[in-house]
């Protein structure tokens, strides 16, 4: 498998090169040159396969020029230490829980796979690898956990002071060792700006072999296609063609679903449900792509106005809007609707959803084709203050975050200046 970029300029590269360069020099994103179609035998055996066996089969064609079978088996075993269970709300409405990883959000699937891939590739590199990432919350925790104690790798995570939850901060900043948490006295945009600048600074580049762990890396996208297949398999009905609702911010998750469909996933379509940051829903209606100013919402991991992975979804539909509309619909939901949905799911099904999953549920309700599967991207504990206020009850922390509350943070506070970032990185 070779990887092209979304602009189709330049020559195709290997998986190895696509992962290490993160994106092409013109800023476009890597995509596999085709979607390898899974056999009918694979789908027959799918309900019996373990998560590791399934991810191995699905991912093998994408990496076989860069890895041996043993290496991929090791990568998926170490990356996916958790599963994606399907929970029944009614006999035509299901929740695919993607939050059973160590940081209680679905980002663990993509980030942990990327980390294991980089660890393998690092064996062929002489220089130590430095992961440099800006986070608004969930990515930082997943990066810290996934890269912790990896030999030959250091990770620097910039997060905005007081803009991430206490739980998210402990996930980023309580590990220490090779994980360096930088609490930036500024906004998420400041963090992103500093990271972008550092990637281009000649002195930093001379000293450090920099890589990013953000969602435009192809190694974060590919493993996400797997859990759609896992969701389908758990319906235990070989004739089922479910529709999927996906709470969308940067549109990586839903793009992985579209890719799974190209690989043969039986499904009748996708709903990309957004919060009031509605660039894509407006685009799908009008054909005009016009990002509006950012709106802060309670589903803050989706507060994105110019989703970087949407171009990949367009590439899969050959840049033809009407073709895209055949498989994808997109609707925006307000804060009021989100809060009401959290209530509704709890009172109807005694099930607690976080604000992102609430939007997923709202999207699922609009789908005509049954059964419907809504993807749940975070455990409600990650947004406990909001949910506890709305439902007027407390939330039981799951095992993987219980211990965190006894830890203390090890962080370095910096003002958002290039000089200070340079000092830390050259330090």
For position 3 contacting ligand PLP by CB under 6 A, the verdict is no
Choose between 98 and 425: whose C-beta lies nearer to ligand PLP: 98
Among 86, 105, 157, 172, binds ligand PLP (CB under 6 A): 105
Q: b or e along 162-180 (b: 16 or more beta carbons within 10 Å of the residue's beta carbon)?
A: ebbbebbbbbbbbbeebbb
Choose between 116 and 248: whose C-beta lies nearer to ligand PLP: 248
For position 356 contacting ligand PLP by CB under 6 A, the verdict is yes
Tell me how far, at minimum, the Cβ of 255 lies from ligand PLP, in Å.
8
Choose between 130 and 245: whose C-beta lies nearer to ligand PLP: 245
Tell me how far, at minimum, the Cβ of 243 lies from ligand PLP, in Å.
17
- Rounded to whole angstroms, the Cα distance separating 395 from 340 reads 18
Q: Looking only at residues 147 through 206 of this chain, which bind ligand PLP when binding is defined by CB under 6 A?
A: none
Residue closest to ligand PLP when measured from CB atoms:
250
For position 353 contacting ligand PLP by CB under 6 A, the verdict is no
Tell me how far, at minimum, the Cβ of 301 lies from ligand PLP, in Å.
3
Taking CB under 6 A as the rule, which mask of x and - marks residues 244-283 in contact with ligand PLP? ---xxxxxxx------------------------------
Choose between 31 and 121: whose C-beta lies nearer to ligand PLP: 31
Q: Looking only at residues 287 through 316 of this chain, which bind ligand PLP when binding is defined by CB under 6 A?
A: 301-302
Number of neighbours of residue 205 by Cβ within 10 angstroms = 12
Six token digits for residue 331: 């609707």
Q: Do 219 and 28 contact (CB within 8 A), yes or no? A: no
Among 103, 120, 377, 400, binds ligand PLP (CB under 6 A): 377
Among 76, 352, 378, 387, binds ligand PLP (CB under 6 A): 378
Among 97, 108, 138, 278, binds ligand PLP (CB under 6 A): 138
Taking CB under 6 A as the rule, which mask of x and - marks residues 51-70 in contact with ligand PLP? --------------------
Tell me how far, at minimum, the Cβ of 253 lies from ligand PLP, in Å.
3
Give residues in contact with ligand PLP (CB under 6 A): 105, 107, 138, 215, 247-253, 301-302, 356, 377-378
């Amino acid at each position: 498998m070779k990887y092209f970029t979304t602009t189709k300029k330049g020559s195709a590269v290997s998986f190895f090169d696509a992962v290490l360069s993160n994106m092409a020099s013109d800023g476009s994103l890597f995509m596999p040159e085709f979607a390898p179609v899974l056999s009918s035998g694979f789908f027959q055996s799918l309900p019996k396969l373990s998560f590791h066996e399934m991810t191995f089969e699905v991912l093998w064609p994408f990496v076989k020029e860069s890895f041996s079978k043993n290496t991929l088996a090791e990568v998926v075993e170490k990356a996916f230490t958790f599963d994606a269970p399907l929970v029944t709300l009614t006999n035509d409405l299901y929740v695919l829980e993607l939050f059973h990883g160590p940081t209680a959000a679905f980002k663990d699937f993509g980030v942990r796979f990327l980390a294991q891939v980089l660890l393998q590739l690092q064996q062929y590199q002489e220089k130590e690898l430095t992961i440099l990432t800006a986070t608004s919350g969930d990515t930082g925790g997943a990066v810290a956990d996934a890269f912790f104690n990896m030999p030959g790798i250091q990770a620097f995570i910039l997060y905005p002071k007081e803009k991430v939850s206490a739980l998210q901060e402990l996930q980023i900043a309580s590990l220490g060792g090779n994980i360096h948490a930088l609490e930036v006295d500024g906004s998420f945009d400041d963090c992103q700006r500093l990271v972008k600048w550092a990637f281009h600074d000649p002195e930093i580049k001379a000293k450090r072999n920099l890589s990013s762990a953000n969602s435009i890396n192809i190694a974060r996208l590919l493993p996400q296609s797997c859990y759609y297949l896992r969701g389908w398999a758990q319906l235990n009905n070989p004739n089922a063609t479910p529709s999927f609702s996906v709470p969308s911010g940067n549109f990586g998750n839903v793009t992985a679903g579209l890719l799974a469909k190209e690989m043969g996933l039986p499904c009748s379509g996708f709903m990309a449900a957004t919060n009031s940051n509605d660039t894509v829903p407006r685009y799908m209606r009008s054909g005009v792509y016009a990002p509006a100013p950012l709106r802060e919402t309670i589903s803050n991991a989706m507060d994105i106005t110019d989703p970087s992975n949407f171009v990949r979804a367009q590439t899969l539909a050959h840049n033809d809007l009407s073709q895209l509309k055949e498989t994808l619909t997109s609707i925006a939901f307000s804060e009021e609707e989100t809060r009401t949905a959290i209530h509704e799911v709890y009172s109807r099904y005694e099930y607690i959803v976080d604000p992102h999953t609430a939007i997923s549920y709202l999207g699922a309700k609009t789908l005509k084709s049954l059964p419907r599967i809504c993807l749940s991207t975070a455990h409600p504990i990650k947004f406990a203050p909001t949910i506890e206020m709305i439902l007027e009850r407390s939330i039981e922390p799951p095992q993987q975050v219980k211990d965190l509350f006894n830890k203390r943070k090890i962080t370095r506070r910096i003002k958002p200046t290039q000089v200070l970032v340079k000092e830390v990185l050259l330090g």
